[in-house]
Amino acid sequence: MTSERYELIYWPVLQGRGEFVRLALEAARADYVDVARLPEDQGGGIPAVLQVLKGDHEGAPPFAPPILRHRGALIAQTAAILHYLAPRIGLAPNDEVSRIHALQYQLTITDWVAEAHDTHHPVSTGLYYEDQKKEAAKRAKAFREQRLPKFLGYFERALASSGGPYLFGSEPTYPDLSVFQVLEGLSYAFPRAFAETSKQSPGLLKLRKLVRALPNVAAYLASERRIPFNEDGIFRRYPELDSSE
Ligand SMILES: N[C@@H](CCC(=O)N[C@@H](CS)C(=O)NCC(=O)O)C(=O)O
């Protein structure tokens, strides 16, 4: 069956990587359904995600959620989903080179998100945090001291190259929404380290405020559709990982 409506298939109880897609759909006020957040008797819940992952459909099989279903096709990988969606919902820059640069930024965000995730799961995603706390403490220290300033510095330079206030100038595009989400997540997970390190990134702090105030984003953030950050997601608040003291 093909449908014009965008269907997001993602775990229903966390922001996770699905949130980068939700934010884009919400910012554009696109017609979409967050499939797994429907009740199970309406085809939602975790079974809806597992059903798609089972792979009894045509085309390239998805490895993991988030997954977008549109016009009968399934697309996985957050950056690929956004690259597909953005021109259709008015969130892509205009020219071809800029579109590749938007994807370049999004893939860098993918790396950043994976590193943020690995601060609490440095050994294996298959183990509990409690089983890898020692390694997590080491990994989080390196993240706070080396990687956080490097990623923030990179995106601050990216903003300077466009003249701001967004990555492609005066209008927001999808990587701006994703940078916003990472900044929100990092300030939740590492309130101390983020507050200290982000002092060097005034352009990013401004972008964060601007994105938060976009009317569709503000309405979404205030709605029940925005799942609060929690300790099942990528950005987890474990105070011991925010400080070595
Ligand atoms: N690189 C992928 C990563 C996808 C991913 O790791 N998804 C998580 C949820 S946020 C998952 O369910 N992974 C299951 C697995 O890796 O086995 C993306 O950016 O979409």
Q: What distances in angstroms separate CA 234 from CA 20, 30, 82, 111, 146, one per listed residue? A: 12, 25, 19, 13, 19
pLDDT, residue 57, reads: 86
Residue-wise pLDDT for 14-26, tens only, equals: 999 999 999 999 9
Q: In this predicted structure, what is the pLDDT of residue 35?
A: 98
Ligand 1 geometric centre to CA of 15 (Å): 12
Predicted confidence at residue 1, as pLDDT, reads: 55
pLDDT tens-digit series, residues 152-173: 999 999 999 999 999 999 999 9
Measured from the CA of 78, which atom of ligand 1 is nearest? Answer: 20
Element housing 156 (H / E): helix 148-162
**pLDDT of the residue at 128:** 97
Instruction: Give me the pLDDT at residue 56, please.
Output: 82
What residues in the chain have per-residue pLDDT under 50? none
Tokens of 131: 């089983």
Report the relative pairing of strands 6-9 and 32-34 from DSSP bridges.
parallel
Distance 123 CA to ligand 1 centre (A): 16
pLDDT at 245: 61
Stated pTM of the model? 0.97
Best of 19, 21, 63, 115 for a ligand 1 pocket test (most atoms within 8 Å of beta carbon): 63
